[in-house]
Amino acid sequence: MATIRKRNDRWQVQIRRKDAPFISRSFVRKAEALAWAREMDIEADRGLLQSDPRTLQRITLGELLNRYKDEISIDKGAAETETIFISNLQEHPLASKSLATVKASDFAKYRDERLTCVSGSTVNRHLCIIQHAYEIAVKEWGLPIKENPVKLIRKPKNNPPRNRRLRTGEYERLLCSAEQSRNKLVKPIIIIAVETAMRRGEILNIRMNDIDLNTNHLWIPKTKTGVPRTIPLSSMALDAILSVRNDGSDGNDRIFPLTPNAFRLAWERVKKRTKIDDLHFHDLRHEAVSRLFEQGLGIAHVAAISGHRDFRMLARYTHVHHSIA
């Protein structure tokens, strides 16, 4: 609210609002002072008052991203991935720069630095997180950011989509290697990936309560796209789940109580024993989707199982590879 007081035969109006500069003006007539005060209050309520630029000097990029992680990332399907990225970025000098001083050139330098050690697709994903954080800061948090600096820089080219499928004998070698693993959850996870086309995170979040043993269907409530789905379980997939059925006695009702990093390390050890270097775990999803098409399923049916929302993304899976295991 505006404060109005008479001083030296003039009416003085003072406007104080959080994150906005202090405004003061004097009038000869009280009616003019009241009218101006009402106008300023209305503009303040609409967020039209010029924000205090000192606000951006008090907030670092790291602090902005931490708030984004706690309030925005937490509701995303990729929450864990975004959390890891934001936590790692806190160690970079860029995170300590204030929002008032960080420039597009800083992000261009960061882009070029990251391209020396990770792919263009990875850099783009990370830049998108930062860019979205800026957008949220302006639209929802009211920070006086005039221009999104990440939007101003060139984005690297994304990697071409992978079309890697299992070659003859590789599936058996992977399962044999997983059998030797100290972690007995790895083998059934590999089987489920090939049988269901589920993503890693979806598999690690399977709970026994999500399985209908009468119809052999699995309910996936949390997906990358945010759209829950139900998928059929083959006999091999169901056997893999039941082979390690978790009774919840450890306080965790997930069938595969592993962290993504723990599984990643176990998967890398399995590959190392098989000497298969060019295979990603996500390639098993490509393998599974391709097999569904080879079974004669249509695009709509496959999309319902795999969770692809854009049928065009499934076009590259329709090729048939006759040398699969």
- Catalytic positions are 199, 224, 282, 285, 308, 317
Q: Which among 207, 258, 254 has a CA at the least distance from the CA of 267?
A: 258
| Residue pointed to by tokens 């390390």 | 265
Cα separation of 299 and 58, whole Å? 52
Q: Do residues 107 and 130 lie in contact, with contact meaning Cβ atoms separated by under 8 Å?
A: yes
Cα–Cα distance between 301 and 295 in angstroms, integer?
A: 11
**Which DSSP string do the residues of 4-65 spell out, in sequence order?**
EEEETTEEEEEE--TTS--EEEEESSHHHHHHHHHHHHHHHHTT-SPP-THHHHS-BHHHHH
Q: Residue 309: CB partners within 8 Å, gap ≥ 6?
A: 225, 227, 303
Nearest of 201, 177, 195 to residue 187 by alpha carbon = 177
Say how far apart CA 133 and CA 169 lie, in whole Å. 46
Contacts of 30 (CB under 8 A, 6+ apart): 4, 6, 11
